Amino acid sequence: MQVNKFDLILLDADGTLFDFDRAEDFALGRTFAHYGFSYDAEVRDSYRTINRRLWQDFDQGKIGKPELLTARFRRLLDQYGLAADAAACNNYYLEQLAAGSQLLDGALEVCRRLAGSCFLAIATNGVSGTQKSRLAQSAIRPYIRQIIVSEDAGFAKPHAGFFEYALRLCGQREKSRTIIVGDNLDADIAGGADFGIATCWYNPAGRPNDRCVACDYVIRSLYELPGLIFPADAL
């Protein structure tokens, strides 16, 4: 008889299940074309640098979500001397991003494999409407039983309030039977560890854990995940 170590698996969305880089690049290109602006790899990389820093500030509670969403385009437009309304740019971008449901390698197969024995839930700090739209269009939708978004929870990862909300929404009472899988050492791994649930760092690029954030498991491929959930088992 197969015995699983965890009943509830919280899965981060972007960079863990969804190929966010592809979706983001597509959405940015469409947005710049809509406003008649030139778009290339330099613009994309500038946006990613700005966006990453703002999300780090958000994860640390330094700024709110509405401020983040507008500020990233205001700073990008200012950097290139482009005239457009930052809030309108962001809204159009999010509309395009909502169509980006491309999955990372192994996401579909692993979700299908785990769904028969575990409660799978997405746990994300993304924009609620965008994330729910992407999931609805995705091939993994039949296997995901719940989606937890920071906007709905009232707290963002790594805050304990986010994880409390997630377990309550999923009907899970046992922290020891819960694991979070994600690519973000701060929001996913440190947040989960501080809350008292098991953690699995998805690290396909083999990045160093410079700050020595404690994590229970590290995987380079999603195909490794079933072997952690089902001892002596592999996909």
**Sites in the chain below the pLDDT cut of 70:** 1-2, 232-235
pLDDT of 235: 46
Q: What is the pLDDT of residue 3?
A: 73
User: How far is the C-alpha of 45 from the C-alpha of 131, rounded, in Å?
Assistant: 22
188 is catalytic: no
Could you write out the DSSP letters of every residue in 83-112? Answer: -S-HHHHHHHHHHHHTT--PBPTTHHHHHH
Task: Decide if 188 contacts 182 (C-beta within 8 A).
Answer: yes
pTM of the model: 0.87
Spatial distance between the Cα atoms of 79 and 69, rounded to a whole number of angstroms: 16
**pLDDT, position 232:** 63
Domain ranges (residues) in the chain? 8-18+102-229, 21-97
Nearest Cα neighbor of 203 from 193, 194, 213, 195 is 213
Burial class of residue 75 (count of CB atoms within 10 Å of its CB; 0-12, 13-18, 19+): middle
Q: Is residue 13 classed as helix, strand or coil in its secondary structure?
A: coil
Beta-carbon count within 10 A of 101 CB: 18
Do 8-18+102-229 and 21-97 fold alike per CATH? no
Choose the catalytic residue: 7, 12, 59, 183. 12
pLDDT of residue 233: 54
Fold classified for 21-97: DNA polymerase; domain 1 (1.10.150)
CATH of domain 8-18+102-229: 3.40.50.1000
Relative to beta strand 178-182, strand 146-149 is: unpaired
